[in-house]
Structure 1
């Protein structure tokens, strides 16, 4: 007499695939040998439950059972008494459990949550050197996913909770038994209805389509601290993308791009500029006033006898240190300018200066500081 496989699973003869699967999961977890290591009766019960599921989940085998046959009865011309484990290549009960539940025995494949954290967002903003020098509250416009106000992020028009997906019974995947030359093989794929989450929204919000979020353009203000440099990223927590299902928002990163300054250039926290000093002022010494990034005057003392390429450092008048107190320096690079046209008076004065100093042109110098022509005239 054929066995009552419906009775083994505790379902009616017109039970649906989902009902058969739920019954099997419940009984398989209850009688699995890993949970009953020393219980021979539980092991036998697990085999019976596994055999019943193998037959009733396969439409062809279920048809034979409904006709009064027993596909596992070899004497009745069935499939040969291999039981459920035989359909998986003899891998044992652990392999059967893994194939059905998608993971190791006693566990299960973790389904993907419908509510996911949002992604971070990146926005680039251009700043002048003056804004980096003082710091600034900069208005910005961002276009990101935000929480849907109509459904408060639930995705439901009535703001009700998500329901268990009827297609996959909340597992997030659809499993099918397929026959192959190796036997019966269980395959699984993400559920198309719930997209692998195991949950569905019965009355999706018309505004967000059940996603719990919509795209929106927002006006924000970012606090840029003094001393930021090109490429600095400022983090605005919770101002990024809202996640699927109304999940928590990621962060917004504002990346600073410093626009070139017409006079000043930055190296670390130091500010560099070139000052053009007439040759007379370079020889006698002078004082120049230059502007910092916000137009405040900075006095640069050019000492007497300054040579072309000299560097004059003014302490503490560079960029503020981003982390810590104080500031860098302002460094003036001296470029001595020589007049190209002289009036009669200027030429006379320079001639008198040359005669007074008695200097001669020299090409190169020896170790005594004398030029080549000086040595030639001295006969040494």
Structure 2
């Protein structure tokens, strides 16, 4: 929506409803206008088409509670000749231009946030307070073999994190001393200042770097940061059915929080080593099994290996083509709900590289007696 829409268009007037109209009244008004002016009912009628578009635009704003509130707030502040900012000069035209600039720079922003800081121009505030801070997220990697990725496994993961320094207990100050409250931000860790004479912009305090405290005599172990690197090993359960490259979140196992804040999360990236026989297709396992020409032509019952080491029997019907896939139910990976997926068995017809004279004679006799149609006839060659 353009700035002009917010400042000039009266959507209530477009729909013919009052500013305190209910959602149902707005809906009824729009439907009435839409039925009378719909392009399908008024072909080649430019006026009706324009009226329909205006009503549709008004309805899209007024039927959405959030958009309607923003529209009402904007109209109250900027409607009717422009909003007069404190100290603004140049009359209504200048004030109108200021409003135009405001909306142009605030596209996509929440109007409540925009107006909330509008009247703090020229001041520095410390309203944020130095409250709890959430710990940092930690990322680790683990490599599993194919079987463990399907069945799940508990693995040790070594992590490097920044916990509170043991020497200063997280204060950052040398033992026997204490840090001082930052005089710039009064301990809030944030400063708010005017930007361009209109907006109040908050940012981390440059003197304490957002901590709210200033260390005069820093801890020699952590150099005043209050944090120290530590290496620890954690046992992490990797669930069954993970795939290569999957990122697993373990809540609350990341870096420690500050001032009573919650700890961060641990993210584990899983790498899966390939298997010499089996592959994955979603939760299903895949395997390719060779069969002879005779088995494909005459049919057979073959044994197929499974990931668990047991075998499953697959019936090959006569006339099975190369590449056909059969399904062994319940022999695949474990799904997230605990049930088993399937094993997809694809057959590959093996053509012998060498034939004995008797075998050649038998095949020649087969070709003569089978009297099969030309398989390449549809190619027109």
Q: Is TM more than 0.5 here?
A: yes
Shift of 1:250: 0.9
Q: Distance in 2 between matches of 1:162 and 1:236?
A: 34
1:309 counterpart = 2:323: yes
Q: Distance in 2 between matches of 1:175 and 1:331?
A: 63
Q: Distance in 1 between matches of 2:380 and 2:192?
A: 97
Q: Distance in 2 between matches of 1:314 and 1:335?
A: 17
Instruction: Trace 1:243-282 onto structure 2 (pairs within 5 A).
Output: 243=257, 248-282=262-296
Shift of 1:124: 3.0
For residues 168-220 of structure 1, the C-alpha deviation after alignment (integer angstroms, 9 at most, x for no partner) is 654668999xxxxx9xxxx9997654335443345543322332211122222
Going from structure 1 to structure 2, the CA distance change for 1:354 and 1:101 (only over 3 Å counts) comes to closer
Preserved contact between residue 157 and residue 236 of structure 2 (Cα < 8 Å): yes
2:237 match: secondary structure: strand
Match of 1:209 among 217, 220, 223: 223
Moved more, 228-237 or 198-207: 198-207
Q: Distance in 1 between matches of 2:297 and 2:371?
A: 15
For residues 270-297 of structure 1, the C-alpha deviation after alignment (integer angstroms, 9 at most, x for no partner) is 1222221111122233333333335443
Q: Tell me which residue corresponds to 2:245.
A: 231
Preserved contact between residue 141 and residue 268 of structure 2 (Cα < 8 Å): yes
2:269 match: secondary structure: strand
Q: Tell me which residue corresponds to 1:55.
A: none
2:374 match: secondary structure: coil
Match of 2:353 among 324, 332, 340: 340
For residues 279-338 of structure 1, the C-alpha deviation after alignment (integer angstroms, 9 at most, x for no partner) is 1122233333333335443333323332212211111111111x2132221111122122
Q: Tell me which residue corresponds to 1:82.
A: none
Shift of 1:149: 2.2
1:285 counterpart = 2:302: no
State the Cα RMSD in Å: 4.0
Q: Distance in 2 between matches of 1:256 and 1:174?
A: 42
1:141 match: secondary structure: strand
Instruction: Trace 1:57-136 onto structure 2 (pairs within 5 A).
Output: 98=120, 101-102=123-124, 108-111=125-128, 113=130, 116-136=133-153
1:328 counterpart = 2:341: yes
Preserved contact between residue 133 and residue 293 of structure 1 (Cα < 8 Å): no
Match of 2:181 among 164, 167, 189: 164
Q: Distance in 2 between matches of 1:303 and 1:188?
A: 74
Preserved contact between residue 155 and residue 246 of structure 1 (Cα < 8 Å): no
TM-score between the two structures when normalised by the length of structure 1: 0.57
Structure 1 gap segments, 5+ residues each: 1-87, 103-107, 177-181, 374-380
Preserved contact between residue 126 and residue 190 of structure 2 (Cα < 8 Å): no
**Residue-pair matches, total:** 262
Instruction: Trace 1:17-36 onto structure 2 (pairs within 5 A).
Output: none
1:131 match: secondary structure: helix
Q: Tell me which residue corresponds to 1:155.
A: 172
Going from structure 1 to structure 2, the CA distance change for 1:248 and 1:205 (only over 3 Å counts) comes to farther
Match of 1:222 among 236, 240, 244: 236
Preserved contact between residue 167 and residue 175 of structure 2 (Cα < 8 Å): no
TM-score between the two structures when normalised by the length of structure 2: 0.57
1:362 counterpart = 2:374: yes
Q: Distance in 1 between matches of 2:243 and 2:329?
A: 20
Q: Tell me which residue corresponds to 1:141.
A: 158
Preserved contact between residue 117 and residue 244 of structure 1 (Cα < 8 Å): yes
Preserved contact between residue 210 and residue 245 of structure 1 (Cα < 8 Å): no
2:341 match: secondary structure: coil
Going from structure 1 to structure 2, the CA distance change for 1:298 and 1:203 (only over 3 Å counts) comes to farther
Q: Distance in 2 between matches of 1:197 and 1:372?
A: 80
